[in-house]
Amino acid sequence: MNDPRIETLKASNARGDFAASLIFQYEDRGRLSDKQWHWVVKLAADAAAPAPGPVAVGTFTGVFQLIERAAEHLRFPKIRLGFGGPSGIANDLVLKIAGPRSRYHGDILVTDGGPFGDNKFYGVITEDGEYAPGRDARADADVAAALVAKLTSLSEDPQAVASEYGRLTGNCCFCSRPLEDDRSTQVGYGPVCAKNFGLNWGVKSRNSEVGLGTICDNSDVDPEEQS
């Protein structure tokens, strides 16, 4: 009869050479060191921990509508924000709807906007606002918490989150180009992106016309879809 700790490890989903080696050594020699027993218990416990389920971050209907409206004008509309750190925008945060080649087709992909294969993958959000944390959110509890906080505030008030980002960074929350006038900075995006995303922008005054401020361009080529 094996030690129950070994049986637990064998029955668990623990995979990999290390777990296999511990089991082999036990069955070969009939004993393990204290340190090895520590690992037997730890590997079994880690494997038994449930995969994180979806996290509710509020309804994302508004965000989906925003991106879908822009998709009438742009090939790859994105929302670019930040999250985490004292500023709340320490890390890049990019949202876009997954294309047909993605296994998340139709859901919002959450990444750092880096090129495919070299980006951070923070997870996916369904229109119901179910956020499934991706590998780079699951790897760090602080990152996950900051992401959930930012996504929740985005679902509650996309405009406010965009404005805050524009004010803090001076960059458009859709195309990331510099915002070059106060009206753009106040809302967090430039007039061209406002038009593309169907949002209000600025108030026309006698000496300025819409379109003379920030020149937005969201026509960049998309890196490949996150799988």
Whole-angstrom distance, CA of residue 99 vs CA of residue 13? 33
Whole-angstrom distance, CA of residue 146 vs CA of residue 137? 9
**Nearest residue (beta carbon) to Zn ion:** 216
Listed ranges 55-63, 100-108, 180-188, 193-201: which one lies at the site for Zn ion (CB under 5 A):
193-201
Whole-angstrom distance, CA of residue 199 vs CA of residue 189? 9
C-beta of 8 vs 176, nearer to Zn ion: 176
Listed ranges 25-33, 82-90, 99-107, 173-181: which one lies at the site for Zn ion (CB under 5 A):
173-181
C-beta of 32 vs 175, nearer to Zn ion: 175
Q: Is 190 a binder of Zn ion (CB under 5 A)?
A: yes
Query: Which residues of 48-183 form beta strands (DSSP E)?
Result: 55-56, 79-83, 91-97, 108-111, 121-125, 130-133
Residue 74, CB-side half-sphere exposure with 13 Å CA sphere: 27
C-beta of 127 vs 217, nearer to Zn ion: 217
The contact mask relative to Zn ion for 113-152 (x = CB under 5 A, - = no) is: ----------------------------------------
Q: What is the DSSP letter of 212?
A: S
Q: Is 175 a binder of Zn ion (CB under 5 A)?
A: yes
Out of 66, 81, 193, 194, name the contact with Zn ion by CB under 5 A.
193
Out of 83, 191, 216, 226, name the contact with Zn ion by CB under 5 A.
216
Q: Is 172 a binder of Zn ion (CB under 5 A)?
A: yes
Listed ranges 4-12, 31-39, 79-87, 212-220: which one lies at the site for Zn ion (CB under 5 A):
212-220
User: SS3 helix, strand, coil % of the chain, rounded to 5?
Assistant: 40, 15, 45
Closest contact distance (angstroms) between CB of 159 and Zn ion is: 15
Closest contact distance (angstroms) between CB of 191 and Zn ion is: 8
How many other C-beta atoms can be found within 10 angstroms of the C-beta atom of residue 201? 21
Q: What is the DSSP letter of 205?
A: B
Listed ranges 82-90, 152-160, 170-178, 197-205: which one lies at the site for Zn ion (CB under 5 A):
170-178
Q: Is 165 a binder of Zn ion (CB under 5 A)?
A: no
How many other C-beta atoms can be found within 10 angstroms of the C-beta atom of residue 14? 21
Q: Is 162 a binder of Zn ion (CB under 5 A)?
A: no
Whole-angstrom distance, CA of residue 205 vs CA of residue 177? 23
Q: For 32, left (φ over 0), alpha (ψ -120 to 50), or beta?
A: beta
Report the interface residues with Zn ion, using CB under 5 A. 172, 174-175, 190, 193, 216
